[in-house]
């Protein structure tokens, strides 16, 4: 089956999770060591943004908040471990200021992660719905089929893995109807909602089926594509 394009997290496997966690741990440790041996303050603390943004790849919305807490603890520890470069009051103010920046950044990252989780869940629900719909759904772009749901394959007569699965659906239309189909498809691609009835389609095995089609534009992998909703006439 032609798979749908979908938004997924970069980290899925157990090995990926531990790899990202190890990057975060190593980066955090290196920044802390540099912080306690060089009195550079904010110049070094800015580097904490690197492991903070790496928490995006953990697909856990509370990870940036947890890491921000860890960074604040380490910055507090460095106040006593690093060489004195500023009066104590100024050093504390610097740390409080940057801690606030980290907290703000962590909330932005958390909201982003939460939004992506919601989008992914929505896509999963939509994919499940499309897969089980009795109507045929096809998504096409540049004279090739990008996606066909099971009902669409049955209507068109294409089995999974067939070379015709990614062919130009317009070429399957009866030659008498091809010109009007291409014209209406072009209109739909530019935003019109088109309904075509009793459209004759020639299956790969040579048999003919009469279909009603609704044509409209959709976003597919961040680019416009033509969606066909097909039912038997």
Domains in the chain: boundaries:
14-129, 134-232
Query: What's residue 11's pLDDT?
Result: 45
Residue (of 131, 157, 156) closest to 3 by Cα position: 131
Contact between residue 189 and residue 226 where contact means Cβ atoms under 8 Å apart: yes
pLDDT per position in the chain (233 positions), as tens? Answer: 334 343 344 444 556 888 899 999 999 999 999 999 988 888 999 999 999 999 988 878 889 999 999 999 999 999 988 887 778 888 899 999 999 999 999 999 988 888 877 877 777 787 787 888 889 999 998 878 888 889 998 998 887 766 555 678 888 999 998 999 999 999 998 888 999 999 999 988 889 999 999 999 988 877 899 999 999 98
**How far is it, in rounded angstroms, from Cα 28 to Cα 97?**
19
Tokens representing 21 are: 């966690």
**How far is it, in rounded angstroms, from Cα 233 to Cα 227?**
18
Residue (of 109, 136, 134) closest to 227 by Cα position: 136
**How far is it, in rounded angstroms, from Cα 58 to Cα 64?**
9
Tokens representing 8 are: 């997924």
Query: What's residue 4's pLDDT?
Result: 39
Query: What's residue 1's pLDDT?
Result: 39
Query: What's residue 10's pLDDT?
Result: 47
Query: What's residue 115's pLDDT?
Result: 84
Query: What's residue 213's pLDDT?
Result: 94
> Taking the complete model, does pTM exceed 0.85, yes or no?
no
Q: Which CATH superfamily is domain 134-232 in?
A: PAS domain (3.30.450.20)
Tokens representing 202 are: 């020639």
Query: What's residue 164's pLDDT?
Result: 57
**How far is it, in rounded angstroms, from Cα 231 to Cα 154?**
11
């Amino acid at each position: 089956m032609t798979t749908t394009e979908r938004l997924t997290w970069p980290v899925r496997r157990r090995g990926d999770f531990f790899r990202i966690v190890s990057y975060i741990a190593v980066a955090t440790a290196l920044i802390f060591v540099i912080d306690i041996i060089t009195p550079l303050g904010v110049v070094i603390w800015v580097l904490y943004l690197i492991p903070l943004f790496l928490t995006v790849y953990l697909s856990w919305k509370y990870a940036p908040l947890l890491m921000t807490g860890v960074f604040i603890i380490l910055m507090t520890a460095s106040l006593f471990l690093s060489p004195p470069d500023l009066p104590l009051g100024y050093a504390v103010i610097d740390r409080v200021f940057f801690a606030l920046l980290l907290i703000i950044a962590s909330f932005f990252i958390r909201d982003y992660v939460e939004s992506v989780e919601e989008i992914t869940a929505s896509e999963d629900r939509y994919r499940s719905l499309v897969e089980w719909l009795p109507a045929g759904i096809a998504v096409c772009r540049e004279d090739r089929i990008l996606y066909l749901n099971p009902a669409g394959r049955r209507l068109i007569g294409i089995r999974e893995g067939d070379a015709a699965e990614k062919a130009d659906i317009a070429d399957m239309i009866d030659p008498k109807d091809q010109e009007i189909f291409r014209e209406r498809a072009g209109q739909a691609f530019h935003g019109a909602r088109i309904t075509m009835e009793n459209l004759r389609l020639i299956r790969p095995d040579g048999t003919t089926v009469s279909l009603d089609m609704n044509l409209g534009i959709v976003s597919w992998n961040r680019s416009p594509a033509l969606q066909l909703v097909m039912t038997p006439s």
